[in-house]
Structure 1
Amino acid sequence: MGLFSAIFGKTDNSQLSEAIKDGAFLVDVRTPDEFSAGSVKGAVNIPLDKVPMELPKFKGKKNIVVFCRSGNRSGQAKSILEQSGFQNVINGGTWEDVNQLVNE
């Protein structure tokens, strides 16, 4: 695990892949403009600054995968969700990484 991954809590691909195969709630935390330029099929867009106000959307989800452009904002989103009591949050890193796993 690299320093960046250690800091932002990016998970290993096997855990991420299993969560995706199991129907994880996929959340792109980039801006609406970034999201509209391309994202992961089936993902919802909840920008990082809106995550605290949108907590009800995360309730009852077996697994939550958050992702963004670089893994930075998704790391922050993971922290926000965990501080709000969610235990099942995975930082998927970049939307391209998550997209690749979704399309396997």
Structure 2
Amino acid sequence: MHWNIKEIDARELAEWYDSKAEGFRVIDVREMNEISGGTVPGADPLPMATVPVRFNELEKDKDLVVVCRSGARSAQVCMYLQQQGFERVYNLRGGMLAWTSSGQQIALPRAV
């Protein structure tokens, strides 16, 4: 089966912060040592290896943006979540590299 991974770019995600408020959630699937250097504001850390045992903590009725360093790991997580019945999943195109290079602010991660 082919999975159509929806993507969002850094500019679009920044606009969501202004327009959607509580209507979406961002998760960062990088390892904690990567996340500790900064992440998308408000992102929840959920390292990729933990997703199969913790995906039930995610809401299927909210848009979910998945972030990693470059967009590759997050695309894999998006595919996995789609297999688990999540339809409102978006990959941050280019990951944190694109987020920071577009001039967006980073924040310290939330506690696990």
TM-score class, shorter-chain normalisation, is: 0.7 to 0.9
Q: Establish whether residue 11 from structure 1 lines up as the match of residue 7 from structure 2.
A: yes
Instruction: Name the CA shift for 1:64/1:101 in 2 (closer, same or farther; >3 Å).
Output: farther
1:22 matched to 2:23: no
Give, in whole Å, the separation in 2 of the partners of 1:26 and 1:37.
17
The separation in 1 between residues aligned to 2:86 and 2:47, in whole angstroms, is: 18
More helix by share: 1
The Cα of 1:15 is off from its aligned counterpart by 6.0
Shift of 1:16: 4.5
**Cα 1:40/1:22, change in 2 over 3 Å:** same
Gaps of 5+ in 1: 1-7
Give the aligned partner of residue 97 of structure 1. Answer: 98
Per-residue CA deviation, residues 5-53 of structure 1 (Å, 9 max, x unaligned), is xxx9462537645654413200000000000011111001101111111
Query: Secondary structure of the residue that 1:42 maps to in structure 2?
Result: coil
TM-score (structure 2 length as normaliser): 0.70
Gaps of 5+ in 2: 106-112
After the TM superposition, list the runs of 4 or more consecutive aligned residues in structure 1 that deviate by more than 3 angstroms: 12-21, 96-103
The number of residue pairs the alignment matches comes to 96
Q: Secondary structure at the match of 1:30?
A: coil
Moved more, 72-81 or 20-29: 20-29
